[in-house]
Chain A
Amino acid sequence: MEQIVEFAGTNGLLVAFVFVGAIMVVAYWLSRHVARGTVHGSAIAIALGLLLAFWAGADTGGKNGVADYPLLAGIGVLGGNMFRDFAIVATAFGVRMEDLRKAGLVGALSVPIGVILSFAVGAAVALAFGLTDPAEITTIGAGAATYIVGPVTGASLGVSSRIISLSIAAGLVKAVLVMVATPLVARRIGLDNPVSAMVYGGLMGTTSGVTGGLAATDPKLVPYGAMTSTFYTGLGCLLGPSLIYLVIRSVL
């Protein structure tokens, strides 16, 4: 066994290819024979990945889902930021400039609107749960933006690590829910063209959620959503500890 783990460790990326390939086979089989084509195979594959990550997290107590098993450490590489960004950029191959321009000003505005919306919702929830310190309320609001904005804002406002972990949890809930729920609500919110995909990416912001959700809905829309969501975390980190904190402090 020890020898197998060591062997898998030195060939991590190859093990990851086989592992993900197996998930895809199972997911597409489920899509065809159990869901009878009503749920797309990639949506099921992403849901299976999340389910395995939950199970692995409960089992190992680690933060990286199945990648915390030494046997599957390669998943941490294949599913890490480097390959994710590489593949997202590749999806832009074949995108037409005109489609990007069509969303225009509203596409660009969706990012600040999305950031402020998430902070407002998160801050309101924090207030409703009885928090009173403006720095702590801002941090929960930041977590409702993304799980990166949360800890960055919390650290610069100097709140306790308990509040920071709550904000990360809020951001993780958002990312997971966006991945799972997007294919379910896509038709109802008109998410079927490049313009609405750019607006959606800007409003949601969580890159993992947006790219996962669009992959499960319609892979052709991925580059448009990714284009706007890539600016969201940066803007959130910029506005959170500064402007939004000052506004929240003066309102309270």
Chain B
Amino acid sequence: MPILGVALLAACTLAGLFVGDLLGAALGLEANVGGVGVAMLLLIALTNLPGRRLGPETPTGSGVQFWSMMYIPIIVAMAARQNVFAAVSGGVMAAVAGVLAVLAAFALVPVLSSWAQRP
């Protein structure tokens, strides 16, 4: 049943986010630390249980697959509710800081990737 996949996905997300909140609180932060990452690892582990791998073509898998395909529309909705006006009108210092931070990180991507791929 597709609902089982949706329920599994929701349970993994909730569990991960809760762990992330606890981790943040343990570190004295008001931020979620790695919640989504934990949730993803949990989902990967539970859908790859030895002997009962869950594929996207199974009814249960289709419940997860659907939300995976809804990802881009949700990101478009996220883009449409960003405070773009504040970003554009935030002043020169904010713009320069944001732009340079992005350029510096772009420049480092190939450097670190080549380290990772070195045998």
Contacts and interface: CB of A to CB of B under 8 A. Distances in A.
B105 A46 contact: no
A143 B13 CA distance: 27
A107 interface: yes
Interface in A169-224: 169-179, 181, 185, 189-191, 195-196, 198-200, 203-205, 207-208, 211-212, 215, 219, 222-223
A205 B97 CA distance: 15
B116 A199 contact: yes
Interface in B40-96: 40-41, 43-44, 47-48, 56, 61, 64-65, 67-68, 70-96
Contact of B61 (A51, A93, A179): A93
B2 interface: no
Contacts of A235: 33
Nearest to B101: A144
Contact of A106 (B44, B81, B116): B116
Given A125-B93, A145-B101, A230-B35, A110 B13 contact: no
A59 B9 CA distance: 38
B39 A89 contact: yes
Interface string B87-119: 111111111111111101111111011011100
A135 interface: no
A20 B97 CA distance: 31
A154 interface: no
Interface string A96-108: 0100101111110
A63 interface: yes
Interface residues of A, number: 118
A93 B43 contact: yes
Contact of A203 (B16, B23, B91, B112): B112
Given A95-B40, A170-B98, A173-B90, A203 B84 contact: no
Contact of B83 (A57, A80, A189, A207): A57
A92 B73 CA distance: 17
Contacts of B64: 90, 93
A169 B94 contact: yes
Contacts of A106: 112-113, 115-116
Interface string B14-39: 00110010011001011111111101
B4 interface: no
B91 to A, nearest CB: 6
Given A20-B77, A173-B87, 8 more contacts: A42-B72, A57-B83, A76-B81, A85-B39, A106-B116, A121-B101, A145-B101, A199-B112
Interface of A: 16-17, 19-21, 23-24, 27, 42, 45-54, 56-58, 63-67, 75-76, 78-80, 83-95, 97, 100, 102-107, 109-110, 113-114, 117-118, 121-122, 124-126, 129, 140-141, 143-145, 148, 152, 165-179, 181, 185, 189-191, 195-196, 198-200, 203-205, 207-208, 211-212, 215, 219, 222-223, 226-228, 230-231, 233-235, 237-238
